[in-house]
Amino acid sequence: MPRNQQILLDNRPQGEATASNFKLVATDTPALQDGQVLVRHHYLSLDPYMRGRMNESKSYAASQPLGEVMIGGTVGEVVESRHPKYAPGDKVAGMGGWQEYSVVDAGQPGVLRKVDTTHVPLSHYLGAVGMPGVTAWYGLVKIIAPKAGETVVVSAATGAVGSAFAALAKARGCRVVGIAGGPDKCRYATGELGFDACIDYREHGDVKAMSGALKQACPDGIDGYFENVGGYILDAVLLRANAFARIALCGMIAGYDGQPLPLANPQLLLVNRIKLEGFIVSEHPEVWPEALKELGTLVGTGKLRPRESIAQGIAAAPEAFLGLLKGKNFGKQLVKLI
């Protein structure tokens, strides 16, 4: 059995996460038992939710245990199998974690699924045609539920979730406005992802400036908002929201280091009868088949052209993750492990 490099959570962050919170180790991969498969990971997904898991405080998911392999989505190839449904060479997606190999009890429901790489590249099953894409689909379709002609806005617009959100919303006839960091990302949003407008939050760094930019980009107001960030951006969106607007609350990356995120004008939720709903996409397995079918079609037909930032090798994962939290990635952040 192969030697396996792994990254463990060694200690919990005190405020901002650092590389010293992680530890790289090497271990022997255990021999397979009946019903298990050995997966060689090709790519590891890095996602903002992982920062929340590093904390010990109560959240919507259990904390990442200390001294164990960091949680994370993976895609790769079966190299050995003692399960009848899987054979060496099968391409699979799962939650293998920050390591080069994983031993999976393949009979457990939902832990591993075969993927077809005929029209969709393997790496996209961690982004546009994976958890981030389904996240965008659920927030748009099930919470915002837009009508053709409505205006929808998404923060972190050029990341894996935001880029899928744009394609899905354009397919439903919406005006789609993104919020992203820097002129290059905003050009990519309007030039390649199909956004009607994109606001650079680095140029609009407070509520007044962001609200003014949103007024210009959304002349008919905001009917739906997909929230990944929180902080002053949410305050600005509320100032421009229409009556009966819907907000899908997916992430609050502005508060992941533990500081509170006060809301400046919560009364606007009442004044405009706004629906605000937080959600975790893993709690909605019933939508995945429908969502993945639409997302796969969008990628296969070129209507969704997701970009990827790729770090090389398992040892690069911590720094790539810290960069993701600061917006240094361009598109979906992955680590290539082969």
User: Does 229 lie in the same domain as 322?
Assistant: no
| Total domains, the chain | 2
184 forms beta bridges with none
Within a domain: 300: no
pTM over 0.85? The answer is: yes
Within a domain: 290: no
Q: How far is CA 245 from CA 91, 123, 153, 205, in A?
A: 41, 35, 11, 24
User: Does 182 lie in the same domain as 199?
Assistant: yes
Residue 110 region, left (φ>0) first, then alpha (ψ -120 to 50), else beta?
A: left
Distance CA 90, CA 79 (A): 8
Within a domain: 293: no
Q: What is the DSSP code (8-state) at residue 69?
A: B
Within a domain: 292: no
Q: What is the DSSP code (8-state) at residue 147?
A: P
Q: What is the CATH number of the domain that holds 55?
A: 3.90.180.10
Within a domain: 197: yes
Sign of CA dihedral 72, 78, 81, 84: positive
Within a domain: 146: yes
Task: For 54-85, write each residue's pLDDT tens digit.
Answer: 998 767 678 999 999 999 999 999 999 999 99
User: Does 174 lie in the same domain as 41?
Assistant: no
User: Does 147 lie in the same domain as 27?
Assistant: no
Within a domain: 299: no
User: Does 108 lie in the same domain as 25?
Assistant: yes
Give the range of the structural domain holding residue 225, as residue numbers without chain letter: 131-282
Within a domain: 7: yes
What is the full per-residue pLDDT of the chain (338 aa) written as tens digits? 799 999 999 999 998 999 999 999 999 999 999 999 999 999 999 998 899 899 987 676 789 999 999 999 999 999 999 999 999 999 999 999 999 999 999 989 889 999 999 989 999 999 999 999 999 999 999 999 999 999 999 999 999 999 999 999 999 999 999 999 999 999 999 999 999 999 999 999 999 999 999 999 999 999 999 999 999 999 999 999 999 999 999 998 888 777 788 999 999 999 999 999 999 998 999 999 999 999 999 998 999 988 999 999 999 999 999 999 998 999 999 999 99
Q: What is the CATH number of the domain that holds 169?
A: 3.40.50.720
User: Does 276 lie in the same domain as 136?
Assistant: yes
Query: Phi and psi of 40, rounded to 5°?
Result: -90, 115
User: Does 274 lie in the same domain as 162?
Assistant: yes
